A and B are shown apart, each in its own frame.
Chain A
Amino acid sequence: DIQMTQSPSSLSASVGDRVTITCRASQDISLSLAWYQQKPGKAPKLLLYAASRLETGVPSRFSGRGSGTDYSLTISSLQPEDFATYSCQQYYSTPLTFGGGTKVEIK
């Protein structure tokens, strides 16, 4: 199984801050990585796929990069609606696996 190690598990930031979350796979997943945003009591929302492709309707302040085993999600200027939990997921092979999540809180 491919393990997804996400860090940090939580962070505090202010509106306008630049925030970066990282995800490391236990083996090469060849860009088969998605990022999701989840707010309390709601279903996850797809933000990016193929490591760096923005899903339709997602603001351009979200971006993703990486290759091989190392990936990151960056929010260029944190907005009030961005306070949520973010999770990465590899879909390179079964079992599909998720990172443990990063909770972004207001400082």
Chain B
Amino acid sequence: EVQLLESGRDLVRPGGSVRLSCVASGFTFSPFAMNWVRQAPGKGLEWVSTIRGSGDGTYYADSVKGRFTISRDNSRNTLYLEMNSLRAEDTAIYYCAKARLSTSHDFQPLDYWGQGTLVTVSS
């Protein structure tokens, strides 16, 4: 059974930093691109970032470019999101999500999602 389990500090000051983790199980992690998607309270879904299976390609939403860094450790089946210079508008539930196919196409439907971790940016 595919499982994605996110974790990370939940309350951060504006300007602060936090690293989210997502531990994957139930599938071979390394071939699949992975994603972070967030959802502000009461709002719609917003794509944040994608990383290739090999880790050699990364993509970011303009709203987080230069502040967030996606990475992965395929030996630990773990996806990360390093979030710096946090703003109130970064407050959201952050989901990690798996690409549906292990192909060369970096952008795919997302077939498994974690339960999400809430990050609140507030003083």
Taking beta carbons and an 8 Å cutoff, which residues of A are in contact with B?
32, 34, 36, 38, 42-46, 49-50, 55, 87, 89, 91-101
Contact = CB atoms under 8 A, between A and B. Distances in A.
Contacts, number: 60
B45 A87 contact: yes
Contacts of A98: 44-47
Size range of the chain B interface in the assembly: 20 to 34
B50 interface: yes
B100 interface: yes
A57 B114 CA distance: 18
B62 A95 contact: yes
A89 B100 CA distance: 14
A6 B61 CA distance: 20
A96 B50 contact: yes
13 contacts: A34-B109, A42-B115, A44-B97, A46-B110, A89-B45, A91-B107, A92-B107, A95-B47, A95-B59, A96-B35, A98-B47, A99-B44, A101-B44
Nearest to A98: B45
A97 B110 contact: no
B115 A43 contact: yes
B26 to A, nearest CB: 15
Contact of A94 (B46, B50, B111): B50
A95 B63 CA distance: 10
Interface string B98-111: 00100000011111
Given A91-B107, A91-B108, A95-B62, A43 B113 contact: yes
A93 B107 contact: yes
Contact of A96 (B62, B95, B107, B116): B107
A36 B46 CA distance: 13
B61 A43 contact: no
A95 B109 CA distance: 13
Contacts of A89: 45, 47, 109-110
A69 to B, nearest CB: 18
A54 to B, nearest CB: 12
